[in-house]
Amino acid sequence: MDYRQIPAMFVADAPGLDFLNSVATPVDEQVDWIPNGEGLLSWLTQAGLAPSAAIEAIRSRSTAAELDDLAAKARELREWFRGFTRKRKGRPLAPKDLRELGPLNQLLERDQQHQEIVKRSLNGVARLELQAVRRWDSPESLLMPIAEALAKLVCEEDFTYVKACEGPTCTLMFADHTRGHARRWCSMAACGNRAKVAAHRKRLKDQESGGL
């Protein structure tokens, strides 16, 4: 299915996992929202991980081949980190897990950011805040907010509650922030509803079989 026919899915409650979910099977066919450079720019826009002005500037000064190469790097990062996450979901991360995060740290080292004091207004009251400002000098700079989201996932989420949807064909993951950590589905409207329908049909079938 063409990624342009359906909006990207943001159901993970964690931006790093939403990136892993940028390839999924929302209905019957797999959709990859980052098949090429334009797909990556579209996904970043929908995710809100990079300013629209920065995305447009990089689009205007980059060739299609350069953007496609960037998308290939994003997919490679996605599949590597998916393996890391699937292997460790359901348990807290341990210090020894840092050994396998070398590729992510190497990417973070290339980030270009500086701190800047800015004025913010909240409820009509102005105050000064320290803000990180990123330089968007090259196409690769668009990978940096993704790397930052993955790093925050590692450092701020309890992997005990990182789960895979229980839908039989679903590949989506999410951070379970519900009370009691009882979430089972990527969304009730999708896999949750399909599971309810399947369970209802099974009950009817069992009742019919029992009545014979």
DSSP state at residue 176: -
Position 207 scores a pLDDT of 57
Contact yes or no for 105/81 (Cβ under 8 A)? no
Which pTM was predicted? 0.87
Position 205 scores a pLDDT of 58
Position 200 scores a pLDDT of 41
Q: What is the pLDDT of residues 23-65, one digit of tens each?
A: 998 777 889 999 999 999 999 999 999 999 999 999 999 999 9
Task: Classify residue 124 as left (phi > 0), alpha (psi -120 to 50) or beta.
Answer: left
CATH superfamily of the domain spanning 3-210: Jann2411-like domain (1.10.3300.10)
Position 2 scores a pLDDT of 77
At 206, the pLDDT band (50, 70, 90 cuts) reads low
Position 112 scores a pLDDT of 94
Q: How far apart are CA 95 and CA 80, in angstroms?
A: 19
Residues ≥6 apart with Cβ < 8 Å to 172: 9, 11, 12, 21, 24, 164, 165, 186, 191
